[in-house]
Structure 1
Amino acid sequence: MAKAARAAQAWRAYREVARPGSPGIGARLRAIPRLLSGVMNGTYPGMGKGRLAMMGLGVLYMLSPVDVIPEFLLLAGVVDDFGVFLWLMTSLLGESGRYVDWERRRIPATLS
């Protein structure tokens, strides 16, 4: 992923979190376990198990000693892991924000 594309992705994630009325970063991070549970047991319709599997593969890629670009190539080897990390974090923050919004819309409906 090019440097400009990573910067644009990080900027979009920041704008989403900073948008007025949008769930804050703390609410999004606290929602991640509930989001994962909701996807796994099928109660959250906003994200499929395939996307969750892709995120899991991203985590495995970052933890794996086997890389597309090995770390001994110094900067290039770290950049690929950082690109995966940035994609994973923006995906998780975006999806957890949508999950919090979904919860907020759903809770009043269950109270009435």
Structure 2
Amino acid sequence: MRFNRKKILDFFRKSENRAALILDDKSKASSTIKDALGKAITNKGELEGVWAKMLLLFGVAKDYVNGEYTEIPKRSIVAILGGLIYFLSPLDIVPDFVPLLGFIDDIFVLNLVYKQVLKDLEEYKVWKDAQIKIIGNINDPAAT
């Protein structure tokens, strides 16, 4: 099976276009993120190399859609949601049911998205860590 980068990128661009539309409907966006997370958990073993990156992508997408974190450029959140939509599609360039290779294109796209929005993800992590610290201090007033 040949890895066709152009076809994958074309399919990903279509996923980004869908993501831009879905973002206008918080319910659909939340459902898409939830479905993609469920698929990721089910296939965690095959995604081990990108698991930590995926968790970060899921986290920022969820916090954005919930209105908790909006400091990320829209083009970045569209790319992230587009990557999750691509991942969610069972019949993308390399169908997910193909043994050993089914997730190779998904991993390629998710790594591409991660690199594309890395600066925004680093800023999100700083924000998220601060939120966790604030919540920890609220739960343990002696910690302040």
TM-score range normalised by the length of the shorter chain: 0.3 to 0.5
TM norm structure 2: 0.35
